[in-house]
Amino acid sequence: MKKIDDFESFFNNALSRYQSGGDILEVIEDFKQITNQIPNHFAAWTCLSWLFLLLRKNDDGLFAAKQAVKLNAQDPQARMNLTLALLATKNKGVRENITIIKRMMLMLPDIEEELRTSVEDGFKRYPDWPEMKKVKNWLDF
């Protein structure tokens, strides 16, 4: 694994490749590399958890989502990923996280649009995502 010189460019490049439909398996390796070299990069953990969940690697997704929330408890996407992972792994804490996300959406209305976009993206890549169907319903999307 080579050392990354400009993490933000590397991160943004990986995110752009994902957003333009790049191979998830390749993109996930980039986010793993970032989290290995910068363990407190919450956004990389958030992306990593999302990708693991899309690949149905739910235990890995749960670990990454917990790291993301631990590093930034105020990030709504990290909270949503954690909720999805908790549901997928049949762990407790789902209701608490849904309540927190709803509070965030009330305080910062822009968050709702970001999460709606994320839900749509999730269904494009994993059309019958059972946990996402529940989260979408609970968030009244």
Q: For every one of its 141 residues, what pLDDT tens digit does the chain have, with 9 covering 90 and above? A: 455 667 788 999 999 999 999 999 999 999 999 999 999 999 999 999 999 999 999 999 999 999 999 999 999 999 999 999 999 999 999 999 999 999 999 999 899 999 999 999 999 999 999 999 999 999 988
Residue 115 · residue 76 · CB < 8 Å: yes
Query: What is the DSSP track for 76-94?
Result: HHHHHHHHHHHHHTT-S-H
CB atoms within 10 A of CB 48: 26
Q: Domains in the chain and their CATH numbers?
A: 7-138 (1.25.40.10)
